[in-house]
Amino acid sequence: MTQIYDMNLWGGKAFDFYSGAGSHDPKITKPYLEAVIDFLHSFNTPLVVCDLGCGDFNIGKHLVPYTKQYIAVDIVEKLIDRNKERYTAPNLEFHCRDISKDKLPSADCIILRQVLQHLSNTEILEIIKKIAVYKYIILTEHIPLNDFIPNKDIISGQGIRIKQNSGVNLLEAPFNLKVKEVKNLNTLVLANNKGRIVTTLYKAF
């Protein structure tokens, strides 16, 4: 992931961190933020939220005011240092961690926004062992427009499974995540048959 930012493989200006159009294009970000803020607003007592793979924080910065505590995590140390300098709030903290290997912070809800789609099945399986203890999981994935074969394996990196007519589905093998409830929060169909971005809420217990 460090190389992706160093080489600006997702766009943006040199010597800056840019998490791609998916984190900056209003056509993508606006409906997502509306759906997640509506969910966070539904609680009388604000939730503690942990954002796994927070990226350049162009999304997370809008969610912080609706939480009791917002814990933003990413694997790229220089990116976390930059975020700490750029974004501050009494209920906001940043941590540099490898979410497939390191211990994750305690929280009521986790956000995984277009993160797993870049990871191998082995890494996803390690992450699933950890996220099953959170009450709420908000997962966003870029998947094919029509029926697809779930969870084809890839090498972790810049690419995603959509070129193989596949996408991540945590409820299917080899992941088989057990949850109490499933709710679609938002589905955005992309132009030019580029698939859809689906945000799903899982209630684990």
> 87-129 pLDDT, tens per residue?
999 999 999 999 999 999 999 999 999 999 999 999 999 999 9
The residue segments making up the domain with residue 134 are 22-203
In a domain, 119, yes or no: yes
**Residue 111 domain-assigned?**
yes
Task: Flag whether 15 is in a domain.
Answer: no
Q: What CATH number is attached to the domain comprising 112?
A: 3.40.50.150
122-180 residue pLDDT tens: 999 999 999 999 999 999 999 999 999 999 999 998 789 999 999 999 999 999 999 99
Is 13 part of any domain? Answer: no
Best CA proximity match to 143, nearest among 132, 130, 152: 152
Task: Classify residue 2: in a domain, yes or no.
Answer: no
Report pLDDT for 25. 92
Residue 164 lies in a domain: yes
Tell whether 186 is covered by a domain: yes
- Total domains present in the chain: 1
Please check whether residue 82 lies inside any domain of the structure: yes
